[in-house]
């Protein structure tokens, strides 16, 4: 958003907030019901302030508040306070957060301390999760093991889950449609008998040098 325009909008908004506050909220003669209405309006203006503030780049610097905190000269937001909303454009690419990777060689005490981000978005009915963490210690059956650092991105769509990390791409098929057996096996295609391979609706993509290019799974 144009920062000059934003500055104008914020100024107007602050005027409206002051108007409601001075004229109604501090009026001792006002009735209880009316007071509730005006305080609701003030809350809603506050919400508009939150949203406009999200677009402020805080370019004009900060000033000290009475509570000795630093507030942006333009939008009035306090420096270093985590924002509680995301504002996304309706059209075009929506950008949320930045690409994070594990950033420490340290092994942390637990997953919580090792986590850089673990966030999920329900995007038009598809679930995307990004889980980035450094290495940490975990207890598995009373044994302490080290979990390696990872960046895992997973997508869930109509019962199928696909996850991508630094080492693997894994696809889990929709289990609800079949009744799966109790055990799970894994193997390279050349380790599996031809008659069994025929159960797997997988098509490999490759070039004339038999370089692997991708694969398709028929549902």
For 87, the token pair is 């504002």
Count, residues near Zn ion per rule CB under 5 A: 5
State how far the Cα of 162 lies from the Cα of 188, in Å rounded to an integer: 19
CB of 71 to Zn ion, least distance (A): 8
CB of 5 to Zn ion, least distance (A): 14
Contact stretch for Zn ion (CB under 5 A) within 69-77, 92-100, 171-179, 200-208: 69-77
DSSP assignment of 8-69, as one string? HHHHHHHHHHHHHIIIIIT-TTS-HHHHHHHHHHHHHHHHHHHHHHHT---TT-EEE-TTS-
Binding mask 73-112 for Zn ion (x = CB under 5 A): -xx-------------------------------------
Question: Contact with Zn ion (CB under 5 A): which of 45, 56, 114, 130?
Answer: 56
3 state DSSP class of 126: strand
Contact stretch for Zn ion (CB under 5 A) within 55-63, 94-102, 145-153, 182-190: 55-63
58 near Zn ion, rule: CB under 5 A: yes
Binding mask 6-45 for Zn ion (x = CB under 5 A): ----------------------------------------
Strands 126-133, 150-157: pairing is antiparallel
Which of 142, 151, 146 shows the shortest CA–CA distance to 110?
A: 146
In the complex, the residues that contact Zn ion under the rule CB under 5 A are 56, 58, 72, 74-75
């Amino acid at each position: 958003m144009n920062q000059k325009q934003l500055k104008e909008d914020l100024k107007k908004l602050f005027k409206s907030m002051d108007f409601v506050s001075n004229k109604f909220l501090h009026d001792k003669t006002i009735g209880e019901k009316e007071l509730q209405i005006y305080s609701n309006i003030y809350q809603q203006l506050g919400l508009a302030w939150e949203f406009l503030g999200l677009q402020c780049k805080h370019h004009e610097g900060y000033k000290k508040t009475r509570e000795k905190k630093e507030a942006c000269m333009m939008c009035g937001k306090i420096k270093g306070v985590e924002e509680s909303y995301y504002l996304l454009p309706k059209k075009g690419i929506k950008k949320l957060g930045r690409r994070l990777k594990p950033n420490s060689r340290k092994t942390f005490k637990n997953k919580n301390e090792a986590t850089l981000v673990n966030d999920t978005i329900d995007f038009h009915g598809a679930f995307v999760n990004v889980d980035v963490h450094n290495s940490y210690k975990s207890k598995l059956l009373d044994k302490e093991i080290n979990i390696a650092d990872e960046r895992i991105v997973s997508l869930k769509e109509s019962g199928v889950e696909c996850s991508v990390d630094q080492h693997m791409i894994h696809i889990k098929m929709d289990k609800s449609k079949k009744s799966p057996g109790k055990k799970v096996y894994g193997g390279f295609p050349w380790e599996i008998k031809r008659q069994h391979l025929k159960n797997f609706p997988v098509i490999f993509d490759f070039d004339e040098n038999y370089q692997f290019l991708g694969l398709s799974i028929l549902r």
